[in-house]
Structure 1
């Protein structure tokens, strides 16, 4: 079992908490020499994801601020993730967040939580466990910084293809003597494609070529094949990978112990942003390191960006194409399926409404799929269906309720879609059935019998 955290004997706890109004802050001072061994708090708000980003933790050691990181990133969870535990961080089921970095100081320490949002946030169970520390010529201050590339293009200017569109993002550049010990990357992906082919490039003490040159972002963070599954281990974690292969949120962390990177003059950490699609992303690294007094770094506090509304849906950062009045195929309930599999398929490049379709694949001739669609008001409607066509799509017979609506050959050289009429029907308010049967394939088609429904549209008729 993973065990982290300090031995509490001979240590004193400083507690803090309360409500922080919009634009306000809460501070706690520790006016004695020592080292923070554990820092914990629980944050509550009506909009918790927003509060995790727009509530910022800053720490001053001996009068100098060395930490400025949104609370969610400081504790390794971003703003939309599951409880997890690593060697240096823990988020419990009830939301208590803890970090176990040792953070020494010579005389005093000041911990401040600043609410940059427009809602109240409540801090509960806040505590700093402080133990003894004998400061000497080897002692270093703990540092943390954060910044975000907001709604940035995943391709550099002028690029039209993956690879040539990649570019480096600087996590941090530090001047001075210290040790680099970890980082957390929060991403909001704007496309149904992998965002993390890029390599880390870490330059130590001014070297011309990086002594650390990686093989992919997922390799750096301890996984492979852009997998979205949750995992947490002592030094790598993916509390959420929901945005790895589809639009959405991902947070990855890497913490270092035996592989911490010492530097005597400087360190520069770059991560290549290499995305398979040309889209819009948010890319937000937080970096953590120790440094001797006098060190400097290039990432400044950015309260304006930390206060921005956090995206939770693709449409929050990308303008999504939608057909007015569309009943989206990907949202329809499957009532019956005699073969194959059904899933939502995304693809902005295919010009589907809401950039998704319901995709029926691996069926065989004679298989049937029944979907349920809603009708809000009784009436007489022409039922229009936007159907996908491609080289491996089959011939289908479609019925509306029990009325045959037509036979459609969906073979095409290339992926496309068009709107076809399923006839005029008198429909009562409530739920109705759309039945699709695989009845054959075009002689030129690949016999995969695919079927895709982008949307239905009900056009009133007299």
Structure 2
């Protein structure tokens, strides 16, 4: 039988033995070295543990100064990250930038604001209960994406806030093991366009070079018009696709595995509820911000879709776009469908595209400055 390297874990292989080595990096063991956890004598918990001594939660967290970048993990062996838990105090979610580098690459393969990476881009807590990402009370960010590497892995966190330091609690669980030749590298890229120009499409991903598969999307959507906003189609331009894509969706809510405006009232006569939040294994809309009649004037939504059973595979190139599309004179058709006309929207859209691909890592477009990133 082929030696099991401990990757690709699921219920069906939990009983299999492997020589893979379990490791964990946190503020209590910053290197992940075996037998070196809980040894701190200084840290953010030192005062609280002053009567207890070494081994009693001396260093449960780290502080990240204003406009500082810290290294959360620096692993110099082959293996894979298997789970990340992180929570924070201080700056806004989008003022904290998560980056990941694989195998001595100059450019990061992951560059995403912390909240958006964990499907909480709208700055408020939202419960997420999916297979690769979960967000639990009170603000516990978790991911279970498998992130293989062959030589080394480095994870950093930047605090862009010029006034507030961040307090970060984190645990990065990984394994030291051999990685198969057919394993690609985890990537995630953030983009934002505010507003989307009239009659233009929103681009989630472009400039990908290499072989791989697209595995997921997170989007925040700020609506700037009245009426329904989710008629737009997602398009995947694979390899040599030019003007027209290989994969074309049928509507925004359809892509996120919903229907009929995410509105229970539409599907259930007499039910007045609209815009129903949901969170499932592969898709969800956990974030719905409703106008409050005073200072919160716009609607905002946060949505995710994971392509775990149905990855979008490409050989050398990939481009992904989404149309921002609503209706003109929504609700005034009088039952005559011939009165309908689409309205290209000028909405505030941001996204995280998740995919695996071969190296080298290509430089991403520069992140916007923190003022442009802010949700307000």
The answer to whether TM tops 0.5 is: yes
What's the TM-score once normalised by structure 2's chain length? 0.71
Deviates further, 15-24 or 170-179: 15-24
Partner residue in 2 for 1:180: 214
1:311 matches 2:375: yes
Partner residue in 1 for 2:312: 261
What's the TM-score once normalised by structure 1's chain length? 0.59
**Could you tell me which of 235, 238, 243 is aligned with 1:204?**
238
SS at match of 1:148: strand
Which structure dedicates a bigger proportion of its chain to strand?
A: 1
In the TM superposition, residue 235 of structure 1 has moved relative to its aligned partner by: 0.6
Partner residue in 1 for 2:190: 146
Partner residue in 2 for 1:223: 258
What do the CA deviations read for 1:97-129 (whole angstroms, capped 9, x no partner)?
Answer: 011100011121111111112342434330110
Alpha-carbon separation, structure 2, partners of 1:75 and 1:243: 21
What do the CA deviations read for 1:114-164 (whole angstroms, capped 9, x no partner)?
Answer: 1112342434330110113322421211101011002344x33xxxxxxxx
SS at match of 2:25: strand
Partner residue in 1 for 2:164: 120
Alpha-carbon separation, structure 2, partners of 1:55 and 1:125: 13
Alpha-carbon separation, structure 2, partners of 1:301 and 1:67: 12
SS at match of 2:155: strand
In the TM superposition, residue 265 of structure 1 has moved relative to its aligned partner by: 1.4
SS at match of 2:116: helix
Equivalences for residues 7-406 of structure 1 within 5 A: 10-16=21-27, 17-28=61-72, 29-45=74-90, 51-64=92-105, 65-79=108-122, 80-153=124-197, 155-156=198-199, 167-173=200-206, 174-208=208-242, 209-227=244-262, 228-242=275-289, 247-276=298-327, 280-294=346-360, 296=362, 299-304=364-369, 306-308=370-372, 310-312=374-376
* Aligned CA distance change for structure 1 residues 301 and 99 (closer, same or farther; 3 Å): farther
Alpha-carbon separation, structure 2, partners of 1:133 and 1:307: 42
Q: Tell me which structure has the larger Cα radius of gyration.
A: 1
**5+ long unaligned stretches in structure 2:** 1-9, 15-19, 28-60, 263-274, 292-296, 328-342
Alpha-carbon separation, structure 1, partners of 2:311 and 2:196: 30
SS at match of 1:120: coil
Alpha-carbon separation, structure 2, partners of 1:301 and 1:72: 18
Q: Is the 8 A contact 1:237 1:253 kept in 2?
A: yes
What do the CA deviations read for 1:208-265 (whole angstroms, capped 9, x no partner)?
Answer: 4312111101100111222221100011011113359x82221100111120111111
Alpha-carbon separation, structure 2, partners of 1:53 and 1:18: 19
* Aligned CA distance change for structure 1 residues 229 and 118 (closer, same or farther; 3 Å): farther
* Aligned CA distance change for structure 1 residues 193 and 43 (closer, same or farther; 3 Å): farther
Q: What is the aligned-residue RMSD (CA, Å)?
A: 2.7
Q: Is the 8 A contact 1:62 1:108 kept in 2?
A: yes
Q: Matched residue pairs, number?
A: 292
Alpha-carbon separation, structure 2, partners of 1:121 and 1:152: 33
**5+ long unaligned stretches in structure 1:** 157-166, 313-462
Q: Is the 8 A contact 1:116 1:303 kept in 2?
A: no
SS at match of 1:76: coil
In the TM superposition, residue 169 of structure 1 has moved relative to its aligned partner by: 1.6
Q: Is the 8 A contact 2:324 2:345 kept in 1?
A: no
Q: Is the 8 A contact 1:221 1:253 kept in 2?
A: yes
Q: Is the 8 A contact 2:229 2:345 kept in 1?
A: no
| Structure having greater relative contact order (Cα 8 Å, sep ≥ 6) | 2
Q: Is the 8 A contact 1:53 1:307 kept in 2?
A: no
